[in-house]
Amino acid sequence: MTPQHDSFSLTREIAACRDHVWAAWADPTLKRAWFVDHDGPEWKTVHYNSDFRVGGWERGGWKMEATDHTPMAGEHSNETVYLEIEDRARIIYAYTMAMNGKIHSASLATVTFEDAGGGTRLTYTEQITQLDGSDGLESRKNGWNWLMDMMDKVLKETAA
Amino acid sequence: MTQSGAHFQLTRTIAAPPDRLWSLLTEPKAREMWGAPSDDAVLVLETADLREGGQERHRCGPADNPDFVVDTHWYHLAAPDLACFTETISAGGTRFAVTLVTYALTAEGNGTKLTIDVGLAPLTDGDMLDDFQQGWNSGLDRLERFIKADAFA
């Protein structure tokens, strides 16, 4: 297969201060709450750890049980390396996604944090190389929109 | 200013079979021979670790002071067809940009069609997309000259 290079960008205005939104990415417990623990009942987390520093890795493994209407059943894994961290302003990281041990995408993500009114504007930009077995750009965008919803939910739940 | 998400693609047909081209593109010492962004610059290997998850470091710049640091992270290596990696470019403790690079190799006659995708995440202000594209084209020019010279060695 010829790899396909694409990119997309999402922007969210979040009703939480920049410190709190930053913590949702930098604090491993808070990150896990929206990035891992809000998966649906068909997902089982096999392992997850995060080392949030330049050169540090975040690794996760998930198993999705087979149902009648999903091609996603199997073991999924994510490996992330943090390449740039500018406190409360910007995170750049690269990550791969694999299914049943086979990498199907490699991505470069840039996340920026800006004050916006009384809240925070978060912009997520991903450049993705889709390899054989990738679930496609729309699926990735939908996945990140859903993750942003989960992040927003966790931020509301953990608001002081 | 170059925005995150900026991208360019280069395609060339190289007069070498995929196995040979793969080695020249990925082997850390081979990259020294062509990978500098201009004829006046050098690329010097510091650390080699060619494997998925491996991290490598080269220094780049004028021969008497190669003060740019190129950190490579390899994410996917499927010889001789496909490679994905990032490069972080820095100097004097300042990071300038991170690029996501994909090599796709396809046999074409006696040679290889090489497609390179470069996605750019800038870390400083300024228009750098053209500079990166020029640097890659210059490196590929040197790669083709090296292959041609090597064929007649």
Q: pLDDT tens digits for B24-72? A: 999 988 999 998 888 899 999 999 999 998 999 999 999 999 999 999 9
Chain A partners within 8 Å of B69 (Cβ): none
DSSP state of B3: P
pLDDT in tens, A35-58: 988 777 788 899 999 999 999 999
Q: At what angle do helices A18-26 and A137-157 cross, to 10 degrees?
A: 120
Calculate the average pLDDT of chain B.
92
Chain A partners within 8 Å of B97 (Cβ): none
How much is the pLDDT for A69?
A: 65
Q: Count the residues in chain B.
A: 153
- Domain assignment of residue A87, given as a range: 4-157
Q: Is the pLDDT of residue B20 over 80?
A: yes
Instruction: Specify the 3-state DSSP secondary structure of A8.
Output: strand
Count of domains observed in chain A:
1
Q: Where residue B1 falls among pLDDT bands split at 50, 70, 90?
A: low
Q: Is the pLDDT of residue B152 over 70?
A: no
Q: Is the pLDDT of residue B151 over 80?
A: no
Q: Is the pLDDT of residue B5 over 80?
A: no
Share of chain A above pLDDT 90, in %: 77
Q: Which of A1, A99, A128, A129 to mutate to test the interface with B (most CBs of B within 10 A)?
A: A129
Sign of CA dihedral A139, A140, A141, A144: positive
| B51 and B145 Cβ atoms separated by less than 8 Å | no
Which of B75, B95, B119 faces A5 most closely, judged by CB atoms?
Answer: B119
More confident residue, A38 or A81: A81
Say which residue the tokens 């920049």 belong to. Answer: A18
Q: Do A83 and B75 touch (CB under 8 A)?
A: no
**Could you give all domains of chain B from N- to C-terminal order, each with its CATH number?**
6-151 (3.30.530.20)
Tokens of B113: 């069609």
Q: At what angle do helices A28-35 and A18-26 cross, to 10 degrees?
A: 80
Q: Do A106 and B102 touch (CB under 8 A)?
A: yes
Q: Is the pLDDT of residue A8 over 80?
A: yes
Task: Give kind and range of the element (H or E) at residue A63.
Answer: strand A57-64
Q: At what angle do helices A28-35 and A137-157 cross, to 10 degrees?
A: 120
pLDDT in tens, A129-142: 998 878 789 999 99
Q: Would you put residue A51 in left (φ > 0), alpha (ψ -120 to 50) or beta? A: beta
Tell me what ipTM this predicted complex has. 0.84
More confident residue, B117 or B150: B117
Q: Do B75 and A127 touch (CB under 8 A)?
A: no
How much is the pLDDT for B153?
A: 62
Instruction: CATH number of the domain at A16, please.
Output: 3.30.530.20
How much is the pLDDT for B3?
A: 72
